[in-house]
């Protein structure tokens, strides 16, 4: 029992169908009506690829022709034969898609491409397939691509046109085709001439190529039969050095031929490849033709027909090498030409080719023999039955050949010989290519149509009757979004989703404020507690005390920098000459460039925009020697043990002075973030109106408002700075004492370590070889000779304590000022700001609104181009729907025909009484 055989979409045979189909019936008594359907070569057909052994006798071929005639007369056709009734419509549909200019919008359309070396018989093959006679000895159809379309018709007609995909520009030397630039607009198709007489085609194609090679001249000047063409012909005949404007062109001559007995085909014939130019003017020709061939060969949906002359070694084919380089062998079918001129030395090479031992192609090879120089057909005048007689001559050659004849060593390949066989294969394979590509093309067209629609939706609305409503709606949406931004509400990002918390303005500003706080803490003054030189002890810079953190490693990683690098005055004397503390570090270490090189990477991550030179202004800020000199300077005569408040104030104010630098960074970064976020909100709300006056003016007004707050805020922040830097003042006495005591405790610890280190440097180890043992067991009486410098430590603790108190207060007031003066004020400032600026509360608000959203020329042109493309895509969808309807009809007819054939077969075998037909079931079961 067997199921009814079915087809895939668009009439493509299933693998099961393919296995059941043979291109040649096994016996003459059984005839399958759909046996002419070609096997899907992409799945590997033994019959087609290897040319399975056939009886080569004339009697068998006669019977084959009889079966073909019977099949053609039969009303029962199936598979691709049903689709074949509409092959011309399919090919015309593909050409219509091509003419619409969709190559930039969809995947490569299906096409056949004929390529080959010069003198490979390619032009003769093209003429035989298309049943046309090409100009001989004139080089016609070899200097530009030719697109030839053939179809069945009662009367012979031919339309020749010029397809311009490139513009001529002698200034352009880049790209694969020097002097040619690809057009950005749709393909230009210029009708050239329509003829009804075959004998005229040779002349028409000759002059069509001349028109292609002279792009700066009007193509109508070269149409045969016109006065201008006749004058041009006289000039060319009278001048041996008459040159065309260009030697080769990537533009295409389109030749649409309809006539009796023609196969339904559409293919491109490309200039033959060659390596050696004939003259200096053709020096760029080989590369040009190679690039042109590669352009077409690389098309994913191109079936490549590679013509190879058998009078040459198959290994020397330039074209085959290009195909290999493009990795297109799996889309290539070989056509061997000139079999009568094969040299004996190459016999074994082609024997290996036929036996699939070398030069293997998935589609295999065909062989054709066109009339040669010794043929009577070429010696006699061209007649209307030339191609019929050429086919007979070709068939006679293969029948009588000692290689291809019935007893020849290549007789098993006879079924793949002859122009008719090539025509049939190409016609059916091209239809399969079209049908297989339709779903992908439809998908691509639909995707492009969706993209174009999205772009159009992103353009401003053009309904001016609602202009005021549109403008007010957008401006109100902006005010709400801006207020939400400053309030910390998450807004949507460009992709429509909610922004992450770390992307919000409030989060960014909070992080910036924390870094500002940490920066001032890092800048606090530090003291070097080692002995001054006057004690006769070598100073040790490593005893510098870091009061920012208890982590000694952080302090050791910092670069040591003097206050002088920041132009800070430690002490001011009546004569204005500063007393600078001695610093144990080298002066060049204090240079900003040196400090930048010493900044650890982790500090950049921690402090962000504040990772600058001023970050180290507190390093080595005070030394005991500095404080001794300061105390002495400010102590009056006869005032022992009196420490003037002046020295404390001078040191504190000097430590505060660098605050203006991180303050400037904080202010600038705050408004940079604010400006970016607010304008981003405006861009999102008015994304459809970016090319209108509404967006440009709104951006100006918003920028002006932000700049206004920027100026006010800058002034207020530096007022706060000037207050802190003018004089010392605090009512928070408990806080001050706490900071001072904490600093003093750390300074005392550091001073003791310095005294111990100084004592160890004076002790001779002798039998005491363990220095660490001495350090642990040192007694206070051992350190008596090394001063405590308690007075100096008290002053340093005062300076550090007040700095930290003022630092905390300053950070709070600065951030509070920004929050109130700018952020809270701007929340209210955006409300109705733009409406007032645009005067939308005036009587002529409708006219103002229309003016704000009117299109500029650039926007109008963009809309026009999108609408043109959309129209093309709509036309393409209509064409594709027509193809779907066409193939669906063919598939249904094919299935119905197959049912009838199978029922007839069952009746002939006496099964009629056992057939069970189920009206509601798609299948037909045969009882065993």
pLDDT in tens, 218-230: 999 999 999 988 8
Please choose, from the candidates 608, 603, 604, the residue with its C-alpha nearest in 3D space to the C-alpha of residue 515. Answer: 608
Residue 459: φ, ψ to 5°: -80, 155
Q: pLDDT at position 155, please?
A: 92
Q: What share of the chain is helix, strand, coil (3-state, %, to 5)?
A: 55, 10, 35
- Do residues 246 and 141 touch, judged by C-beta distance below 8 A? no
**What integer pLDDT is reported at residue 98 of this predicted model?**
72
- Residues 201, 206, 212, 217, CA torsion sign: negative
Residue 397 neighbours by CB under 8 Å, 6+ apart: 339, 340, 369
The residues that bridge with 305 in the sheet, in sequence order, are 114, 333
pLDDT tens profile 806-846 = 999 999 999 999 999 999 998 888 888 888 888 888 887 88
Give pLDDT, residue 105. 52
Tens digit of each residue's pLDDT (9 = 90 or more) over 762-773:
777 665 567 777
Can you say how many angstroms the Cα of residue 226 is from the centroid of all Cα atoms in its chain?
49
Regions of the chain with pLDDT less than 70: 1-87, 99-108, 134-141, 185-186, 238-242, 345-346, 379, 381-382, 460-465, 490-502, 531-601, 638, 765-769, 782, 784-786, 788, 855-861, 863-864, 886-928
* Per-residue model confidence as pLDDT tens digits over 410-462: 999 999 999 999 988 988 888 888 888 888 888 888 888 888 888 877 776 65
Helices (H), 727-819: 733-762, 771-776, 790-817
Can you give the pLDDT at residue 184? 74
Does domain 88-443 correspond to CATH entry 3.90.1170.50? no
pTM of the model: 0.50
71 contacts 33 by C-beta, under 8 angstroms: yes
Helices (H), 642-732: 645-656, 660-685, 693-726
Kind plus residue range of the DSSP H or E element containing 884: helix 857-908
Spatial distance between the Cα atoms of 754 and 758, rounded to a whole number of angstroms: 6
For 211, counting Cβ atoms within 10 Å of its Cβ (0-12 exposed, 13-18 middle, 19+ buried), the class is buried
254, β-bridge pairs = 147, 161
So what's the pLDDT on residue 530? 78
Decide the pairing of beta strands 265-269 and 146-152. antiparallel
The C-alpha atoms of residue 444 and residue 708 are separated, in whole angstroms, by 52
| The pLDDT value given to residue 805 | 96
- Rounded to whole angstroms, the Cα distance separating 478 from 830 reads 9
- Structure-token match 């409300």, residue found: 831
Q: Where are the domains positioned within the chain?
A: 9-79+882-926, 88-443, 484-837
Three-class DSSP category at 300 = coil
How far is it, in rounded angstroms, from Cα 570 to Cα 625?
13
**Average pLDDT of the residues of the chain:** 75
pLDDT for the residue 379: 66
């Amino acid at each position: 029992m067997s199921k009814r055989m079915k087809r895939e979409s668009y009439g493509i045979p299933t693998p099961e169908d393919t296995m059941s189909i043979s291109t040649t019936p096994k016996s003459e008594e059984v005839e399958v009506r759909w046996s002419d359907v070609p096997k899907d070569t992409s799945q590997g057909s033994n019959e087609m690829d290897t040319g399975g052994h056939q009886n080569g006798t004339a009697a068998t071929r006669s019977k084959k022709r009889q079966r073909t005639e019977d099949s053609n007369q039969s009303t029962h056709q199936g598979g691709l034969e049903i689709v074949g009734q509409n092959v011309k419509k399919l090919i015309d549909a593909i050409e219509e898609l091509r003419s619409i200019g969709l190559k930039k919008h969809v995947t490569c359309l299906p096409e056949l491409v004929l390529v080959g070396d010069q003198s490979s018989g390619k032009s003769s093959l093209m003429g035989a397939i298309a049943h046309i006679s090409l100009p001989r000895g004139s080089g016609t159809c070899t200097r530009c691509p030719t697109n030839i379309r053939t179809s069945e018709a009662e009367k012979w007609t031919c339309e020749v046109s010029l397809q311009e995909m490139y513009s001529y520009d002698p200034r352009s030397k880049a790209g694969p085709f020097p002097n040619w630039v690809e057009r950005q607009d749709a393909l230009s198709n210029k009708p050239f001439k329509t003829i009804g007489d075959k004998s005229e085609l040779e002349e028409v194609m000759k002059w069509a190529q001349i028109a292609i090679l002279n792009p700066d001249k009007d193509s109508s000047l070269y149409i045969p039969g016109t006065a201008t063409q006749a004058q041009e012909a006289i000039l060319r005949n009278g001048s041996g050095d008459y040159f065309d404007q260009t030697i080769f062109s990537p533009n295409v001559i389109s030749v649409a031929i309809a006539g009796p007995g023609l196969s339904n085909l559409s293919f491109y014939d490309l200039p033959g490849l060659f390596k050696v130019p004939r003259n200096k003017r053709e020096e760029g020709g080989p590369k040009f033709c190679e690039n042109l061939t590669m352009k077409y060969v690389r098309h994913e949906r191109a079936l490549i027909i590679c013509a190879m002359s058998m009078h040459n070694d198959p290994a020397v084919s330039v074209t085959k090498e290009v195909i290999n380089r493009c990795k297109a062998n799996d889309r290539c079918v070989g056509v061997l030409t000139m079999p009568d001129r094969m040299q004996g030395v190459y016999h074994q090479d082609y024997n290996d080719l036929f036996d699939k031992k070398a030069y293997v192609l998935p589609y295999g090879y065909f062989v054709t023999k066109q009339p040669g120089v010794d043929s009577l057909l070429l010696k006699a005048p061209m007649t209307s039955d030339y191609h019929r007689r050429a086919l007979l001559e070709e068939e006679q050659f293969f029948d009588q050949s000692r290689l291809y004849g019935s007893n020849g060593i290549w007789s098993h390949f006879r079924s793949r010989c002859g122009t008719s066989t090539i025509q049939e294969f190409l016609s059916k394979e091209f239809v399969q290519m079209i049908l297989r590509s339709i779903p992908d093309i439809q998908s691509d067209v639909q995707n492009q149509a969706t993209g174009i629609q999205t772009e159009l939706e992103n353009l401003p609305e053009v309904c001016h009757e609602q202009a005021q409503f549109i403008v007010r709606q957008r401006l109100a949406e902006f005010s709400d979004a801006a207020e939400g931004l400053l309030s910390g509400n998450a807004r949507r990002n460009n992709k429509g989703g909610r922004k992450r918390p770390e992307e919000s303005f409030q989060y960014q500003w909070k992080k910036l404020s924390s870094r500002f706080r940490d920066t001032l803490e890092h800048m606090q003054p530090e003291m070097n507690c080692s002995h001054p030189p006057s004690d006769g002890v070598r100073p040790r810079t490593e005893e510098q005390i870091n009061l920012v953190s208890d982590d000694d490693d952080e302090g050791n990683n910092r670069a040591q920098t003097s206050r002088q690098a920041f132009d800070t005055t430690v002490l001011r004397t009546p004569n204005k000459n500063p007393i600078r503390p001695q610093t144990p570090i080298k002066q060049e270490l204090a240079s900003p460039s040196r400090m930048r090189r010493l900044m650890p990477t982790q500090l950049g991550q921690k402090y962000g925009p504040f990772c600058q030179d001023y970050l180290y202004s507190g390093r080595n800020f005070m030394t005991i020697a500095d404080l001794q000199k300061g105390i002495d300077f400010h102590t009056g005569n006869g005032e022992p043990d009196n420490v003037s408040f002046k020295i404390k104030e001078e040191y504190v104010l000097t430590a505060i002075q660098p605050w203006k630098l991180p303050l400037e960074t904080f202010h600038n970064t705050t408004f940079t973030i604010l400006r970016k976020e607010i304008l981003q909100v405006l861009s999102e709300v008015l994304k459809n109106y970016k090319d209108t006056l509404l967006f440009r003016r709104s951006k100006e007004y918003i920028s002006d408002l932000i700049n206004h707050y920027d100026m006010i805020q800058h002034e207020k922040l530096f007022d706060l700075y000037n207050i802190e830097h003018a004089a010392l003042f605090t009512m928070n006495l408990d806080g001050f004492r706490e900071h001072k005591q904490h600093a003093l405790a750390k300074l005392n610890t550091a001073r003791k370590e310095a005294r111990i280190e100084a004592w160890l440097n004076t002790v001779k180890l002798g039998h005491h070889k363990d220095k660490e043992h001495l350090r642990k067991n040192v007694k206070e009486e051992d350190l008596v000779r090394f001063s405590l410098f308690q007075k100096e430590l008290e002053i340093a603790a005062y300076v550090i304590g007040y700095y930290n108190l003022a630092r905390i207060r300053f950070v709070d007031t600065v951030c509070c000022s920004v929050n109130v003066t700018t952020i809270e004020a701007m929340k209210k400032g955006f409300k109705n700001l733009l409406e007032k600026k645009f005067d939308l509360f005036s009587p002529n608000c409708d006219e103002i609104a229309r003016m704000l959203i009117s299109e500029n020329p650039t926007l109008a042109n963009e809309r026009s181009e999108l609408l043109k493309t959309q129209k093309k895509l709509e036309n393409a969808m209509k064409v594709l729907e027509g193809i779907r309807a066409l193939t669906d009809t063919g598939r249904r007819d094919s299935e119905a025909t197959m049912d009838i054939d199978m029922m007839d077969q069952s009746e002939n075998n006496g099964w009629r009484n056992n057939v069970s037909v189920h009206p509601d079931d798609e299948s037909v079961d045969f009882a065993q």
